Amino acid sequence: MEYRNLGRTGVKVSPLCLGCMLFGGRTEESEAIRIIDRALDAGINFIDTANVYNRGRSEEVVGKALKQNGKRDRVVLATKVHGRMADDDPNAWGNSRRHIIEQCEASLRRLQTDYIDLYQIHRPSSDVPIDETLRALDDLIRAGKVRYIGTSTFAAWQVVESLWVSKELGLNRFVTEQPPYNLLDRSIERELIPMARTYGLGIIPWSPLAGGFLTGKYERDRQPPEGSRYEKRPARDDMFSEQAFAVLDVIKELAAAKGCTPSQLALAWVVQQPGVTSPIIGPRTLEQLEDNLGALQVTITDEDRARLDQVAPPGRAIVPYYQADFGPHKFHW
């Protein structure tokens, strides 16, 4: 395993991050613990969850797994705050000082740990000034409850604004950004990645397989397979467009030539893109984790990139995932 610096921190993380959104939900506790143990045995030392994932159950499962295997100190543990944690309380969501401090304490209890390595603001909030948010996060760092802070799905200008406020007020700054990034949405190449490389932020992409579309499980003019993410929800027209399938065709062609799976090819592409630190994988089963791990053995050549650029143009979005400013009262995955 070749470890990478997490932004400008000097902390070393694996080139894949284990995402735990499904744990305690679609992935039952016993299977989730097996996935975590296998990932750590394979050399992954970076785990990402959030308080809102199954309303705390994901954090509980992660905490239990790390308690059982005794490897908490070897893991860079990341979680997030912002999403709604109660349906009947107007203050149970967002980026206010009140909510952040309250939820940090709750996450620490669920994770059975004294500190969070990377505490991330899950989405921007246009109705809360960034200095309010940064003050709360800075206090958590100074109290020893959080080591580093980051953002998720912020626009480049929002990150730069936060860096300016941190400098002006003498506060700890964000060190990572977690945006969506895959071969169907390369929007972040226009501004976000150049900004992150300029200011030393780590990039931790979510949905590197476009919600499973790039695994090849979906086919033209066929119903989504049973148990898949899009089985019981209306198909997005852009997701199942001819342009999206044209990208998948090339992925399948290159994967066949390399003797790997389409998902390994698509994931390897994200891992090896400039400015990327550690894509977040979200395996539902142990079998899916094993497939994801195989991506680290796949080499993407300049010729491969050129071929993919023809069907998935740099900086463009065939299926838009990256919508950085959702405004108040909205929370999207």
- Could you give the residue numbers annotated as active site? 53
DSSP states of 100-141 as a string?
HHHHHHHHHHHHT-S-EEEEEESS--TTS-HHHHHHHHHHHH
| Beta bridge pairs of residue 317 | 185
Q: Cα separation of 57 and 293, whole Å?
A: 25
Neighbours of 297 (CB within 10 A): 10
Give the distance, in angstroms, between the CA of residue 70 and the centroid of all CA atoms in the same chain. 24
Q: Cα separation of 35 and 26, whole Å?
A: 13
Phi, psi of 212 (to 5 degrees): 95, -10
Residue 111, Ramachandran bin (φ over 0: left; ψ between -120 and 50: alpha; else beta): alpha
The 10 Å CB-count burial string (b at 16+, else e) for 214-251 is bbbbbeeeeebeeebbbeeeeeeeebbeeebbebbebb
Tokens of 193: 């990645």
Name the nearest CA neighbour of 315 among 206, 190, 191, 210: 190
15 by DSSP, 3-state: which? coil
Measured distance between the N- and C-terminal CA atoms of the chain, rounded to whole angstroms: 29
For 293, the enclosing helix (H) or strand (E) is: helix 286-293
